[in-house]
Structure 1
Amino acid sequence: MDTRAIPTPAALAPPEGYDRGRWETAVLGSGLHRNSRVVAFVLAHYADADGRLPAGGIQHTGRLVHLAKITPKQARLSITQLETQGFISRPDMATWEAKDVVRPVALVMPARGRRPVESHTDEPS
């Protein structure tokens, strides 16, 4: 007898708030630095249909440097800006046990009315 639980429709639904077209439109209309936009589109390209990138995926700084043609510092700043502005979410670094594996990323829609954070200030426009 099969004792596995049957998933509910809610459990099978993608995370609320992610639609790639809407997400990309929000990225384009944001005040994100151009490097952050490039990183955002790289992440979107490799994300699954639910907007998720698994732990250890392309969100690793070394992979982003290669794919987005930016420096390691620019990659780290871009990921931080995307997270700060609410375009991505990651598990808290303090609670992430696998310190040798890059944390997973979920692409999410920023909350409405969120005040934009200033873009990178140490890079020329």
Structure 2
Amino acid sequence: MEPGELVQLCKILNPNNKVGRLTIITRMGAENIQIKLPDLIRALKQANLIVTWVCDPVHGNTIKAPCGLKTRSFNAIKSEIRAFLDVHEQESSYPGGIHLEMTGQDVTVCWRVEGGEI
């Protein structure tokens, strides 16, 4: 979404700019978040619009594994979370949350490559 479109949508959905009314969930992928998120944050700040920012790094990093199943790289998820936090710090904005999914089931949805910490 373009910054101007987001501003217009927020004004429509929350015409009185009530605190706690809107949550913006980002699903940008580790490679895009540092490019796209700053402009969105700046646009809403410039318009004095109040939102809660939440990162959904699982859905933003879906790839197809060689076996054909959809999967996510744990390192990409960690990278997107780190970038989400860094961008908010750089923009003097508040990161309101992170959406993660977990299961006790034996699934092949997320794989880990060793190395690095959040």
Shorter-chain TM band: under 0.3
TM-score by length of 2: 0.28
Which structure carries more strand by proportion?
2
